[in-house]
A and B are shown apart, each in its own frame.
Chain A
């Protein structure tokens, strides 16, 4: 790892920890509220609606899924792609072009420090819980690795979309659209196994399910080790494709860069 990468990682971690109360509120808010909303939905369907199963899944299974997604949702995403789009739009990208570093990688490494720190906390919580439950710590570690791979893929897609800002000032709109779709198709809002089979091809043919749904399925024991290896390999494939896409879009996009305001 190059020296600037370590420096960026350290700098990013210090930056996210500078306002500790903000940091803690952010973690709590991101983790607790979406989980509460989902738990309420299951309560309304199963408890108030007197349902025993939904799509073959029991109340307990839905709750386990929801609670497990809390751990992996914290690792998903990040707003570094928005930062890239904003840098292009405002011309702040200019000084970075003079430095001996890859700006796309630099922004990611600086921004991912927070997620790495949170992923360690989430993993510790998960392993702590596994002591009292049937959860396997090894599966949790595997799930977290897949979630981190998902984070990388997510950023590469975001960076490729952010390059649209080279030619369209409102490029961030694409990132917002991507985030909305990701939230839905990552399995964060609803388990993807609830989507009727006739529409399942939609989420299966996109990488978003590897962010939350995939890690949760493996950690809960719903995926075999063999299935996990296949899915991890698919993730690597997606990473290669999206990285190439990012390199291409930035190489062509930068030709249109005007550096206005920079």
Chain B
């Protein structure tokens, strides 16, 4: 454990040095993300200018959800996003070789070696939106903000597992651009509260491709609470995804051709 913490410290230090050098890059990434948030909020603003509620969700509740989604996404982008973009190159070009011989788990380095610390600023924006609409959305606040942090960790872990599920196929395919593209398009399904969806699709995005568990269900848990069955389901989905990812990773490694050797 100490070894991993030390690695993480070095990774953060190195990445921070790089970010300080390439300041304009990270500034532009923040601006892009803010515009993305602006577009999402504008869409909801337009819709709520015509209706009071959508599937029982008020404007404040939807904004609270958007804040949670944005925060969650910022955490994921900070820690993992760049590494997932690089993942297919690791396999295709054989760069994974150098990670396989290191004395830490190869996935630790494959998924965490490039972090975008500046993107954490976006998490602050997201949190600010949540805070602004918390009271109007019926979130009681106080100690329950700790619960928000817990759900953010859950959502980020799930998002990572899901993204990995869509990336690991690069061991079998020549190019993984389309599969990554599929993930990002499907991720749009995570950008709406799950109550908006018809029951079949809701079931699919909760239990089969659990995109709703990234932000929609956690927000629902914070605003309205979850039943015991739902909580058990969430735990089981998380464990199942972990198991499937592990199996696929091991199978993938068996197929790995080590292109650079």
Q: Answer yes or no: A189 CB below 8 A from chain B CBs.
A: yes
Contacts of B28 in A (CB 8 A): 170, 173
Quick check: which of B64-72, B140-148, B172-180 contacts chain A, the rest being far away? Answer: B172-180
**By DSSP majority rule, is chain B's interface helix, strand, loop, or mixed?**
helix
A25-B181, A40-B198, A48-B196 given; A181·B188 CB < 8 A: no
Given known A-B contacts A49-B55, A181-B39, A184-B43, A34 and B185 have beta carbons under 8 A apart: yes
Interface members, chain B 28-71 (any A CB < 8 Å): 28-29, 31-32, 35-36, 39, 42-43, 46-47, 49-51, 53-56
Q: Are B175 and A22 in contact (CB under 8 A)?
A: yes
Whether B186 sits at the interface, judged by CB under 8 Å, is: yes
Tell yes or no: B220 within 8 A of A by CB: no
CA distance A177 to B177 in the complex (A): 22
B43: nearest chain-A partner, CB-CB: A190
Cβ of A49 and Cβ of B182 under 8 Å apart?
no
The distance from the CB of B34 to the nearest CB of chain A, in whole angstroms, is 10
Q: For the complex, give the distance between the alpha carbons of A19 and B29 in Å.
A: 31
CB atoms of A34 and B188 under 8 A apart? yes
Let me know if B189 and A37 touch, CB within 8 A.
yes
Interface flag for A36 (CB, 8 Å): yes
Q: Known: A29-B181, A45-B54, A181-B39. Is A173-B31 also a contact (CB below 8 A)?
A: yes
Contact A48 B43 (CB under 8 A): no
Residues of B contacting A170 in the complex (Cβ-Cβ under 8 angstroms): 24-25, 28
B25 in contact with A37 (CB, 8 Å): no
Q: How far is the CA of A180 from the CA of B197 in the complex (A)?
A: 25
CB-based contact B177/A22 at 8 Å: yes
Cα A29 to Cα B36 in complex, Å, equals: 20
Given known A40-B201, A177-B32, contact A26–B55 (CB-CB < 8 A): no
Select from chain B the residue with minimum beta-carbon distance to A48: B55
Alpha-carbon gap, A79 to B174, bound state (A): 21
Q: Is B191 an interface residue (CB 8 A)?
A: yes
Bound-complex Cα distance A176 to B31 (A): 10
- Report the minimum CB–CB distance from A16 to chain B (whole Å): 12
Neighbouring B residues of A26 by C-beta, 8 Å? 178, 181
Give the distance to chain A from B113, nearest Cβ to Cβ, in Å. Answer: 22
Q: Is residue A21 contacting chain B, with contact meaning CB distance below 8 A?
A: yes
Cβ A41 vs Cβ B181 within 8 A: no
Find chain B residues with CB under 8 A from A40 CB: 189, 192, 196-198, 201
Contacts of B197 in A (CB 8 A): 40, 43-44
Complex Cα distance A49/B31, Å? 35
Asked if A227 CB lies within 8 Å of chain B CBs, one says no
B213-247 residues with Cβ-Cβ distance < 8 A to A are: none
B188 to chain A, nearest CB (A): 5
Query: Is A124 part of the contact surface with B, judged by Cβ < 8 Å?
Result: no
Asked if A51 lies at the interface with its beta carbon under 8 angstroms from chain B, I say yes
Q: Which of A30, A51, A180 sits near B39, CB closer than 8 Å?
A: A180
Q: Is A230 an interface residue (CB 8 A)?
A: no
List chain B residues, Cβ under 8 A from A22: 175, 177-178
Of the candidates A29, A54, A183, the one whose C-beta lies within 8 Å of that of B51 is: A54
Contact of A29 among B29, B185, B195 (CB under 8 A): B185
Please give, as numbers and ranges, the residues of chain B lying within 8 Å of A168 by CB-CB distance: 24
Q: What's the nearest-Cβ distance from chain B to residue A38, in Å?
A: 10
Cβ contacts A to B, 13 pairs, < 8 Å = A29-B181, A33-B185, A33-B189, A34-B188, A40-B192, A40-B197, A43-B196, A49-B53, A168-B24, A170-B24, A180-B39, A184-B42, A194-B47
B residues within 8 Å of A by Cβ? 24-25, 28-29, 31-32, 35-36, 39, 42-43, 46-47, 49-51, 53-56, 174-175, 177-179, 181-182, 185-186, 188-189, 191-192, 195-198, 201
* Shortest 3 CB-CB contacts between residues of A and residues of B: A173-B28, A44-B196, A33-B185
Interface residues of A (CB under 8 A from B): 19, 21-22, 25-26, 29-30, 33-34, 36-37, 40-41, 43-45, 48-49, 51, 54-55, 168-170, 173, 176-177, 180-181, 183-184, 189-190, 194-196
